[in-house]
Amino acid sequence: MSLITASNMSLSHGGKIVLRNVDLTIERGEIVTIVGPNGSGKSTLLRGLIGALRPSTGLITRKKDLKIGYVPQKLEINAALPLTVRRFLDLPNRVTQANAIAALQTAGVADHADAQMANLSGGQFQRVLLARALLIKPDVLILDEATQGLDQPGSAAFYRQIEAVRQDLNCAVIMVSHDLHVVMAASDRVLCLNGHICCQGAPDIV
C-alpha cells in the first residue's frame, strides 16, 4: 500500500484555489523532490499531504498510523537561552537517552549532544532539526527547503545524510528545494508545480 495517495485533489488557501487536480502517490523508500516558482503551491502541497490542509475537492488517503517527521526551513532560537542539543531534543516531550543518541547518530551529529544550540553552524543546526524529526522513526520525512542558507558543500553534505537516513529507516522523503543540481543527484522522482503538477518523473527526464 502507498504511504500517501492523492486523487484529483485541489487545495485552497485564503479562499483561493492554489493547486488543482493533483494525482500523486508516495511510496516507502523513495525520495521525491518538489520544485516550482514562488507561489506555485509547494508549501500548500506539503500541508495537504501531511493533513494540515483539507482538500477542496478530490481525495487524499494516508496509511493507517502514518508517522511524519518534519524539518523546517529554519527555527529561531534565542541565542541568550542556555539550551544544549540534548535538552532541545526533550522539547516538548522528554525522550530517552538511547533514542536521543540514536537520532543524533543517524543525523550525523552524535558528537554535538552537549553543545549549545546557539553555537552550532548552519549545517549542524539543520542536522539537529533532522535528528528531532527522526525521533519518531517516521514513515515519511518532509524537508521544507531545509538547506536554505547553507553553502553548496554544506547542502551536498546534508543531502548525503538524507540518503543515509532513507537507507537506514526505509522511509519516504519529500523535499522542497531550489537546489536543482542537488535534485538531480539526490532524487528518485521530481514534481514540477505551477498551480498544478506540470510534469513528474525521474530527474534526468524532467
User: pLDDT tens digits for 131-180?
Assistant: 999 999 999 999 988 888 788 888 888 888 999 999 999 999 999 987 77
Q: What pTM did the predictor assign? A: 0.91
54-74 confidence digits (pLDDT tens) = 999 999 999 999 999 999 888
Reply yes or no on whether the pLDDT at 182 is more than 80: no
Domains detected in the chain: 4-201 (3.40.50.300)
- Gap between the Cα atoms of 49 and 44, Å rounded: 9
Residue type, 187: S
Tell me the pLDDT of the chain averaged across its residues: 92
- Gap between the Cα atoms of 127 and 134, Å rounded: 10
Q: How confident is the model at residue 14 (pLDDT cuts 50, 70, 90)?
A: confident
What pLDDT score was predicted for residue 142? 96
What pLDDT score was predicted for residue 96? 95
Check if the beta carbon of residue 140 is closer than 8 Å to that of residue 69. yes
Helix (H) / strand (E) containing 33? strand 31-35
What pLDDT score was predicted for residue 39? 87
User: Which among 57, 42, 19 has a CA at the least distance from the CA of 174?
Assistant: 42
Q: How confident is the model at residue 196 (pLDDT cuts 50, 70, 90)?
A: very high
More confidently predicted of 7 and 75: 7
Give the pLDDT mean for 192-201.
Answer: 92
- Return the minimum-mean-pLDDT range out of 107-121, 161-175, 177-191: 177-191
